[in-house]
Structure 1
Amino acid sequence: MEFDLVVAGGGPAGAATALAAASKGLSVLVLEKAGKGRDKFCGGGVTVLARKHLAELGAKEVEEAFDLWCEGHVLVLPGERVLVDAVRGLSYAMVRRRVFDAKLLEIAEAAGARVVEGARVEQVGVGPDGVSVVDSKGGRYTGRYLVVATGAGDKLPERVGFPSWRASDLGHCWGAEAPYDSESQVAAWRSSYGFTPIFLMFGFVTYGYFWVFPKKGHMNVGMGTTLTESMKLRAKHSEAYRAGLELARKLRVLDRVEPFKVEKSALIPGRPRGWSKDRPRGTTWSAEKRALLVGDAAGFVHPLTGEGLSGALGSGRLAAEAVKQALDAGDPSRLAAYEEAWWREFGRDMFEYGLRLARLLYSSPTVQRLGLLALMADEKAVKLLSRLLYRADARCSEELYNYVVKRLPLLLLKAPLAGEKRSYSEL
């Protein structure tokens, strides 16, 4: 069968691409190697920017998958210093990924996309008028264009002809999402902080953090760092993770830690040293291959925070727009508009300013500790950091970076004054 667009992968990036393309009247095929309800390990926080992209996609029904809302965050800095903040009007929607991903793919299907489950793309051929695809079930399809949305750990982008990842380009996270009396735990948090927070805990790894995110009837606990550092940790993975759990128990973030044995892990785009022109894979489009990369396959994860849903959803919409332009013009070179669009909409903030912030904060344990204390002691800096964590808009990294660079000597002088606990919460 022939389609205007074949999408490899049915996660958020692939589903967003399919939904946007089908809504524009394109015939769309999604080949999903697992199926609806397959899981991916991550924190599962849907930021302000991600929700904006969902609205642009016309995917309001996906809100049915929102478990609960977190209005702010608690950061535990090295030395057990505690920074609390919540900005009025901003929040995180918490989801279980298997539920959220399935719902988004169902919405794309309802818009007209055809979804084939249990179908991994095994072969891709390129001809003068389109691409031919063979899946693991023996299905053969042709499409005018291909979008690859298979995540960071899949080799399909390389087989299509895109540059491969190096270990230094990737991140690694591990942890558990376990049944838990989250209602009682959240009630205790609200009593302590006046709102429902997410928890980010620093000092266990050089590049990254330990997290605790509440879900309805579950708790998501994990740790993430670069793949390079993860490989160096080796057997110390468990040791660092247990240290995070014990600190969470000590600070009464978790009343029980026994349920959280490591059961899942995932690769994500990580520290981008040497990325060409600040593009994670050097390029995210090819007129010759008639293909685009979206989401984690393209590297669209924020270098400082590790948040990737906003990049997945935003890139899916922009990819569909570029494919539509190429189809209307009968010209594959129009795919170039995709890279220009994502750089303008969110890429510059992620990979110019976000990358600079990551290099500032994560270069060594000493720099991380001093940098976090410097931010903690300055209310304006904390508010800008909070806006970045919420992903309040696509300029948050730039705003925080410019503020920090212009005031760095003063911020460093204020670092010893941070104290043991600071709260700037507006709630």
Structure 2
Amino acid sequence: MSVDVVVVGGGPVGLASAIEARLAGLTVTLIEQRDDTIDKACGEGLMPGALPLLARLGVEPEGMPLRGVSYRDAHRHADYLFRGGIGRGVRRTTLHSALTRRAEELGVERVTAKVERVDADATGVTVAGLRAGWLFAADGLHSPVRRLIGLERPGPRRARRFGLRQHFAVAPWSELIEVYWTRRSEVYITPVAPDIVGVAMLGGSRTDFAETVAGIPELAERLTGAEPASSLRGAGPFRQRAARPSKGRVLLVGDASGYVDAITGEGLRLGFAQARVAVAAATGGPAYDGQWRRVTRDFRVLTSGLVGAANSPLRAGIVPAASMLPGLYGAVVERLAR
């Protein structure tokens, strides 16, 4: 069997890549070893810039409006309202189902398999018994394809960060993404349904979910008596590196191409943008590596700076600085939200 594009990875970015390719008139087969709806520990906030990218794919997932971001610590908060439109809080399972339906509508073929070998040459790629002109690897943070084609780069052992997430059955109390900065963790509150909020946190490998929530009195009070609406999930470590975004006709898309940290919440927007430039490269457009650098530039610069501050003695000053310098704080949030 031969197709134009094989996409490895059936998460949101893999599905978006497959949909983009079909909209461009390419034949597509998606390879994913899991055959059910894929969940992930994440903040579940789609930034304003992500929604138009989804809409052009024909995908409009249900969710809750997100009008801005609120950085908070024990003494103060700094609120910023998006200027370029609103975002949306969407359960990861809801997003995955919406993308899956759209991919099926467009005729994306699906193969349930585990990728253990990739053979690439000047004219195409052979993987899992399929021959394709191009392979888009959207197989996540710990991408097997990245490793198989020799683009894996060891990440730093120091300051490795992980994510935890659980939902609670309580009515959202804000249309802002609330980010509580504690001494060692960031805790993200995202409304995802009229009666459900998601609580996600980033921290070290020993971060205790219940203990962290209990250490934020304002949040602990709001969640008092609220029943869990999902099980506790984990992810990470988040810092992952690739030697470069592509090798021949194999293009790394989304988290597989390298990831700094989930701290600013725009990972899906970046993944959707990378899917678009991957399809452009596969259809005679500009080379992927240069376009990948272009669409990720703000993320790499701004997020790396914020992560550096969060892992330094400057951490305690992040929320005070956001409060005292609202123009700078707003400019950074707006830039990332686009």
TM-score by length of 1: 0.71
Relative to structure 1, the CA distance from residue 268 to residue 306 in structure 2 (aligned partners, 3 Å threshold; closer, same or farther) is: farther
Tell me how far apart the structure 2 counterparts of residues 157 and 37 of structure 1 sit (CA, whole Å).
23
Q: Deviations over 1:297-323 (max 9, x none)?
A: 112566651431111111111111111
Shift of 1:47: 0.6
* SS of residue in 2 equivalent to 1:122: coil
Q: Which residue of 2 aligns with 1:114?
A: 109
CA RMSD of aligned residues (A): 2.6
Tell me how far apart the structure 1 counterparts of residues 216 and 238 of structure 2 sit (CA, whole Å).
27
Listed as ranges, the gaps of 5+ residues in structure 2 are none
* Contact kept? 2:266, 2:337, Cα under 8 Å: no
Tell me how far apart the structure 2 counterparts of residues 102 and 367 of structure 1 sit (CA, whole Å).
41
Letter in 1 for 2:90: V
Correspondence 1:212 to 2:189: yes
Correspondence 1:197 to 2:182: no
Tell me the matched-pair count: 336
Letter in 1 for 2:252: L
Shift of 1:164: 3.5
* SS of residue in 1 equivalent to 2:223: coil
* Contact kept? 1:33, 1:119, Cα under 8 Å: yes
Q: How does 1:25-104 map to 2 (within 5 A)?
A: 25-55=25-55, 58-60=56-58, 62-63=59-60, 65-77=61-73, 79-87=74-82, 90-104=85-99
Q: Which residue of 2 aligns with 1:403?
A: none
Tell me how far apart the structure 2 counterparts of residues 370 and 283 of structure 1 sit (CA, whole Å).
34
Q: Which residue of 1 aligns with 2:243?
A: 282
* Contact kept? 2:67, 2:81, Cα under 8 Å: yes
Further displaced range: 303-312 or 96-105: 303-312
Tell me how far apart the structure 1 counterparts of residues 323 and 229 of structure 2 sit (CA, whole Å).
29
Letter in 2 for 1:200: V
* Contact kept? 1:300, 1:311, Cα under 8 Å: no
Tell me how far apart the structure 2 counterparts of residues 318 and 250 of structure 1 sit (CA, whole Å).
40
* SS of residue in 2 equivalent to 1:325: coil
> Which is higher, the Rg of structure 1 or of structure 2?
1
* Contact kept? 1:18, 1:320, Cα under 8 Å: no
Q: Which residue of 2 aligns with 1:275?
A: none
Q: Deviations over 1:191-221 (max 9, x none)?
A: xxxxx2221110242xx51112122132211
Relative to structure 1, the CA distance from residue 73 to residue 127 in structure 2 (aligned partners, 3 Å threshold; closer, same or farther) is: closer
TM-score by length of 2: 0.89
* Contact kept? 1:301, 1:307, Cα under 8 Å: no
- State which of 137, 147, 150 in structure 2 corresponds to 1:158: 147
Q: Which residue of 1 aligns with 2:162?
A: 172
Q: Which residue of 1 aligns with 2:117?
A: 123
Relative to structure 1, the CA distance from residue 163 to residue 154 in structure 2 (aligned partners, 3 Å threshold; closer, same or farther) is: closer
